[in-house]
């Protein structure tokens, strides 16, 4: 989808929203991978990834 396409009205807010989401995802994964056991690391990383996905979906279509 092109930025200038008709029907697409992205603003600076949209780019800031995604930048914060990507930064939070990166920070969350970095912190998750510093936990003790592999099970905790995997669980925390999955939790962070699913949370980021839910926020992304909500931002795209407004489910909640």
pLDDT in tens, 19-61: 999 999 999 999 988 988 999 999 999 999 999 999 988 888 8
- How many other C-beta atoms are found inside a 10 Å radius of the C-beta of residue 59? 13
Owner of token pair 């995997």: 42
pLDDT of residue 8: 72
- How many other C-beta atoms are found inside a 10 Å radius of the C-beta of residue 50? 10
**Model pTM?**
0.74
Owner of token pair 């396409």: 5
Q: For the segment 8-29, what is each residue's pLDDT rounded down to a tens digit?
A: 777 898 899 999 999 999 999 9
- Res. 3: pLDDT tops 70: no
pLDDT of residue 62: 72
């Amino acid at each position: 989808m092109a930025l200038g396409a008709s029907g697409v009205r992205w603003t600076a807010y949209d780019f800031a929203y995604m930048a914060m989401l990507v930064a939070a995802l990166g920070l969350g994964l970095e912190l998750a991978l510093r936990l003790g056991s592999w099970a905790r690391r995997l669980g925390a990383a999955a939790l962070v990834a699913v949370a980021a996905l839910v926020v992304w979906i909500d931002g795209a279509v407004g489910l909640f």
